[in-house]
Amino acid sequence: MALLLCGGWRLDQPEGRAEQQRWLAALEQALPGEEWILQSPADGAAAGRIDVAVVANPPPGSLQGLPALGLIQSLWAGVDRLLLDGTVPQEPPLCRMVDPAMNEAMVQTALWATLALHRGFFQCQRQQREALWRQPPQLRAAEWQVLVLGQGELGGRVGRALAGLGYAVTGWSRRPRPSEALQGRQGLHGADGLAQGLAAADTVINLLPLTDETRGFLDARRLAAFKRGASLINLARGAHLDEAALLAALDSGQVGHAVLDVFQQEPLPAPHPFWRHERVTVLPHTAAQTDPRSAAEVVAANVRAWRRGAPLLHRVERSQGY
């Protein structure tokens, strides 16, 4: 049997070809001796040999006509595009990527952004442009309330890391979480819990999955529920955020500062007001990138598990959207 490696890489450009080859090299090292097919085959015999598809937001239709396909393994943590693609077969299990190296990088970015907001370092950056010497107040970490939206793999890790630095951390999820999963941190859930958390937080970190229920989650109504002057860190998906509503909240002072890594349109267009807004920090979707070396080991573990009939890691519940 064979594995299909298929992504949205621009293979007509050197960068896209290099990215595909980087993934192929890592996967070949993790799964030696396997046959890899690098594009959806038009030949029926080749299509019939493919039993596993390893994908990175592949073009629609890429997974059609593969009669032996038994496993779809995503290279990305988010699977919203795959779930919206009506051409993706529904029968094979779909697994998302939980890359240890990417998780570590996400924690690092969340810590940096929270520290910079808590200690007023973005304010110092603005003052530097005016040669203004003014020391921001130095609150203790325990006096800075952080609300983490989403208590999955990433949200849980970020919350534990911030709590380890002494921050007052609350996690919010749609449904109740077991107390042992929170490891001593406060957990909120549901509409009432969200209202309570937003009203108290000095910094809100969004790490929600993107589903039909969370698309547009950070809208004008929820931004108005923030504690006045609180900050937002969006590291999840651009579609979670109503960008016009955030700009209005920033201009009114309702939101004090926003650190944004993801956007409705990427790359962020040059005319977009986020680029020049003094209370917005723009990251070019670089908070945490999947590392092919560690991710390939995750792929290899799931391929081997599937072929011997063992439970799969990080299997997506399609009805839940993650």
Are 10 and 150 within one domain? no
Enclosing domain of residue 30: 2-99+290-307
**Domain harbouring 8, CATH code:** 3.40.50.720
Same domain, 134 and 234: yes
Does 137 share its domain with 208?
yes
Tell me whether the omega of the peptide bond preceding residue 267 falls within 30 degrees of 0, making it cis: yes
Residue 317 lies in a domain: no
Same domain membership, residue 234 and residue 114: yes
Would residue 76 count as lying in a domain?
A: yes
**Start-to-end Cα distance in the chain:** 28
Whether 113 and 191 share a structural domain: yes
pLDDT band at 181 (very low <50, low <70, confident <90, very high): low
Whether 26 is covered by a domain: the verdict is yes
Domain identity same for 16 and 123: no
Judgement on whether residues 178 and 58 belong to the same structural domain of the protein: no
Does 225 reside within a domain? Answer: yes
In a domain, 165, yes or no: yes
The average pLDDT across 136-150 equals: 97
Reported as a single tens digit per residue, the pLDDT across 44-87 is 888 999 999 999 999 999 999 999 999 999 999 989 999 999 99
Q: Which H/E stretch holds residue 154?
A: helix 153-164
Q: What percent of the chain has pLDDT over 90?
A: 92
314 within domain boundaries: no
Same structural domain, 117 and 210: yes
Q: 210 falls in which pLDDT band (50, 70, 90)? A: very high
Would you say residue 61 lies in a domain? yes
* Secondary element (H or E) of residue 202: none
Indicate whether 30 and 152 sit together in one domain: no
Catalytic site positions: 237, 285
3-state SS, 33-97, equals CCEEECCCCCCHHHHHHEEEEEEECCCCCCCCCCCCCCEEEECCCCCHHHHHCCCCCCCCCEECC
* Same-domain check for residues 79 and 47: yes
The reply to whether 184 and 242 lie within a common domain is yes
Cα R_g (the chain), whole angstroms: 21
Q: Are residues 181 and 236 in the same domain?
A: yes
pLDDT at 9 over 80: yes
Q: How many other C-beta atoms are found inside a 10 Å radius of the C-beta of residue 231? A: 25
Please say whether the beta carbons of 242 and 262 come within 8 A: no
When divided into structural domains, the chain yields a total of: 2
Assess contact for 104 and 223: CB atoms under 8 A. no
